[in-house]
Structure 1
């Protein structure tokens, strides 16, 4: 078959080529004397040079509509293949895909033996979701050459919706792809997504017969095998493929990540060390090896790898961040602070400084904790609202709620569009004494973000604090605990807070059994001081002294309950 790759690539691309500039024809004398429209040109059997010059100058002057019109007209003359390709290129940049497809199809109908046009039409039909035309055109191509390279046609055409994917699969199914690797892979991928791995494996095996060691084909087969075979067979297949392709980083990473998915961290770590030795200068593998070393508590290995990574300026901040984590887990808090204070990468710096603040508070050095936040505020203004909220939290824990509220009020004036500051300020307001102001703030926040569950839950708490039987408050909190764990909106912390609010309301109504129904199981799974305190009062209300004694001992052991420990205070945000 004729080589169409370069032609397809240039036409399908939206990038201008060197030949597309009008500067290539500036040697033509007296440009202004050219006829303004193609209509003034005498009828020619071949494309008119003057018309094409006019089109190029129009394109250069951003009159692209005129340029496209002229090129399209000229492309239907004799020996106009190059003009057609230029016309299609301009059309793709300046018209809809549907318009470009209509033009390409019309031109191809007039030039039925021009094979590259079949490729253009097939590609554009797929992009325009005209799968019937795409199937017909692909079938024509495969009858002409069963092994035709369809890779250029298939670039960037994968559908986003399930309906489009089903239509594409239906169009492809009748096509004989036994000898065509790219088409076999496309079928396999669609079948895999529609959970038909037994059929998908047939198609991917056909592709692998043509290109047995092509990594994307290997990994797709591994994905399919994961649905129909035991993990041991999948690992064996990937491992054997990796041994045949020892320089394939992708296959190492695939096997490593699959082992991690299977919770086989030790095996993944050993393979990572092997990969690190083979790809010694690969920062991605070094970082992943370090992180897995941290997870399995191989701290010497983690520190060695991270110190190697720190020699690369691009990875210095990540290395310092995880060196800080490593030092923290080894109880080396001064060393952890050193590394975490050195992190300056924007997506890591806030979490790093939060940890430094926590270390300072462990040492009861409140001034140092606040100084860390103030420094962060100066260095990264984008995190100023976060630092004000954290500082207010420290003040609140130090039993200075009025000062915390004043700080947030000043910060809200400085950053009036920060929902974070408004919400933190609302949380510090008393549900009863500041009812009107707090309700106003929460209503404003809910108007800004009606789907925010934190705002809804805080509003539910406010309503129930002032009216135990508030139907709206009960409905809001109940709706949150009914969100399933597999729902994207599910948040474990919010779920527990909602349970605590409902349990607190039940306690106020002396419905002690309901309190226990809400909280006993969550407390057994993830004990918190707030849940434990509510349960304790419920068992006291029922007069169940054995439960009271057992729960009180548990609370004292876990949270130093009753010993006036400042860390016992229940944070509201």
Structure 2
């Protein structure tokens, strides 16, 4: 704005207009290269605004009752036509608001100024940087000022969002400023909290009560701010205006996370008549479904479906509701009929397939997947799912065919190779399985793939090949180096080379001192009695690093009980893990069984044979393991129940190739 000449005010209005147009050309030429988008946006927001509108009054004043900071002009109001007067006025109107000082000139016309006792003109100024984010500025001009909006856009471009928002909010309260309001709200949502944006939108809407889009903004922000009373009031107003209006944009991203907020939202929506509004009906249905009121939810979702009978999200929500109150066959028929009406809907195919899989109807799901693959033959997600279900139902020819199709896509090559390896493994083609699994290079699959290759090499007792596989993986993916060292140490331990395994982990620990997996593996290899002090130190250190890790706690419990059969801390730690419910996120089936084995081993050491059986008989029947079986066998031997002993021994022989002479050796390990 400093590009304008100093004689600008001395010309008539029509001359002002022509000079301003010429000056704007200068601005455009100089600014477009650096701020092209910024200028165009501000210009578009001001279309229809008289170019001379900014010249008659200050840019803005505040609603704040506090007195403004003042600055004294060097020009008397009695000399309005001399050069100094014109120059001072131009400076106060057009000089850009500095961001480098705490005080900026906001306006310079005599309408907003006061006079000092000496007759000097005093111009009001305000520090907009000191205003709180939610400050609403009161305009004095009748229409938005292009100069102010340019200033705001430049501020936004420089990252000074506080200044940009403040100016835009002020300009939005002028006449014909709808576009300015929307831009102000957009900037506010980026830089202020939801409550501040809601306050601004509500204030603007109160001053522009007939602007319907503002109702939508207020409703959406009220929902996001959890002001459900205001949201209910505004939604009711919208529905009175148009009962069938699309509320989907209002409802995006507003679903509350907490149970209390969900209930409060439902209570606010209940009085609103949503019979003719699909968007609101489906929101009520979703909340009622969440609160396990499927019958009432069904009424609302049916209302939504009357308006939009083939809208897939409404169909799947109804299917979810039906699953709570109708037999599975009814739900499958409903989804199937909806799918036939919408044959191009991939979502409905996937919903029905996954529901059939939930029902353990794998064959039916597989057949439907093949139909979906034929219809969506270029859809890799469908092809992959069809291949996986083919593996599940042991249709290996189909699985291999589909996976080879996927292997032609670079994006799915690694997944295809991984599951081709699984298919070959299940068909006992281990060499082919190794070929495919060695070809997997995707980071989230490569470790699992190489573990399988190692297992195949160990089946052939090819120890060198197994270790070579792990060493190669370390070279290719250093991120998995700690895991490979632990796997290699486990191989050495299985070969009765415990000392070498410990040396390997000690070297690995020096290289990766912060690796908990290596520290824990070292602790596991140490003897509970002979290495008690070292092992206890390691486990205490691990628990200090991660006090919630149940594996560390269980290993510590085992160490304590191995050295003191009556250790209360050891018993408490193991029992705490056993008592974790299956629906608890911390529950781990394998860890649960290990804790039972620890407690059973301690009970066996105390000759509490019945307690051992109470701990392990049911878990062994459900998921037999060698350790649990050996502990049970010793308990039945202690009770003298020879029939049980013979039956269990035969079962162990069949499952684990286990003989009577192995009993003492295995029990000593535990």
Does the pair score TM above 0.5?
yes
Contact 1:512 1:538 in 2 (8 A): yes
Q: Which residue of 2 aligns with 1:311?
A: 408
Residue 480 of structure 1 aligns with which residue?
A: 577
Is the contact made by 2:630 and 2:667 (CA closer than 8 Å) also made in structure 1? no
Counterpart residue number, 1:39: 106
Q: 327, 352, 361: which is aligned to 1:255?
A: 352
**Counterpart pick for 1:326 among 413, 417, 423:** 423
1:128 aligns with 2:225: yes
In the TM superposition, residue 34 of structure 1 has moved relative to its aligned partner by: 3.0
- The range that moved more, 271-280 or 46-55, is 46-55
Aligned equivalents of 2:41, 2:597: Cα separation in 1: 74
CA distance in 1, matches of 2:551, 2:141: 72
Q: Relative to total residues, which structure has the larger helix share, 1 or 2?
A: 1
Within 5 A, what are the aligned runs for 1:38-57?
A: 39-40=106-107, 42=109, 43-57=140-154
Q: What is the rounded CA distance, in whole Å, between the counterparts of 2:396 and 2:666 in structure 1?
A: 34
Partners of 2:38 and 2:150 within 8 A in 1: no
Q: 1:223 to 1:20 in 2, by over 3 A?
A: farther
Q: Is the 8 A contact 1:56 1:67 kept in 2?
A: yes
Give 1:449 shift: 1.0
SS in 1 for 2:295: helix
Q: Paired residue for 1:21?
A: 38
Contact 1:41 1:51 in 2 (8 A): no
Considering only aligned residues, what root-mean-square deviation do their CA atoms show, in Å? 2.2
Q: Distance in 1 between matches of 2:301 and 2:423?
A: 43
Structure 2 residue corresponding to 1:548, chosen from 641, 645, 649 = 645
In structure 1, which of residues 190, 207, 227 is the aligned counterpart of residue 304 of structure 2? Answer: 207
Farther off after superposition, 264-273 or 78-87: 78-87
Q: Distance in 2 between matches of 1:404 and 1:189?
A: 56
- Partners of 1:511 and 1:569 lie apart in 2 by 19
1:463-487 residue CA offsets vs partner (Å, 9 max, x unmatched): 0011110000000001111111122
How many residues of Structure 1 are paired with residues of Structure 2 in the alignment? 553
Query: Which residue of structure 2 aligns with residue 61 of structure 1?
Result: 158
Give the aligned partner of residue 295 of structure 1.
392
Shift of 1:559: 1.5
Structure 1 pair 149–194 and aligned structure 2 pair: CA distance change class (3 A): same
Shift of 1:560: 1.9
Distance 1:24 1:126, change over 3 A: closer
TM-score normalised by structure 1 residue count: 0.93
Q: Distance in 2 between matches of 1:341 and 1:22?
A: 58
Partner of 2:535: 438
Q: Distance in 2 between matches of 1:214 and 1:104?
A: 32
Q: Deviations over 1:61-89 (max 9, x none)?
A: 22111111111112122222122111111
C-alpha distance in 2 between matches for 1:35 and 1:419: 57
2:552 aligns to what?
A: 455
Match of 2:472 among 375, 393, 396: 375
Q: Encode CA deviations 1:73-113: one digit per residue, 9 max, x unaligned.
A: 12122222122111111111111000000011111111111
Q: Secondary structure at the match of 1:21?
A: helix
1:27-47 Cα distance to aligned partner (Å, 9 max, x none): x9x998335557326542222
Q: C-alpha separation between the residues in 1 aligned to 2:633 and 2:291? A: 51
Deviation at 1:171, TM superposition (A): 1.1
Q: Specify whether residues 160 and 233 from structure 1 end up closer, same or farther in structure 2 by C-alpha distance, changes over 3 A only.
A: same
Task: Report the Cα offset of residue 547 of structure 1.
Answer: 2.2
1:105 counterpart = 2:189:
no
Q: 1:55 to 1:515 in 2, by over 3 A?
A: same
- The question of 1:266 aligning with 2:363 is answered yes
- Say whether residues 1:238 and 2:238 are aligned partners: no
The equivalent residue for 1:15 is none
Give the SS at the match of 2:621. Answer: helix
Q: 2-side partners of 1:252 and 1:428: how far apart?
A: 51
Per-residue deviation, 1:21: 2.3
Structure 1 residue ranges without an equivalent (≥5): 1-17
Structure 1 residue 138 displacement after superposition: 0.5
- Cα distance per residue 1:416-436 (max 9 Å; x no partner): 111111111110011111111
Larger Rg: 2
Q: Which structure 2 residues correspond to residues 82-121 of structure 1 after superposition, within 5 A?
A: 82-121=179-218
C-alpha spacing 1:35/1:554, structure 2 compared with 1 (3 Å): closer
Among 537, 551, 557, which residue is 2:634 paired with?
A: 537
Residue 570 and residue 184 in structure 1: after superposition, are their counterparts in 2 closer, same or farther (change >3 A)?
farther
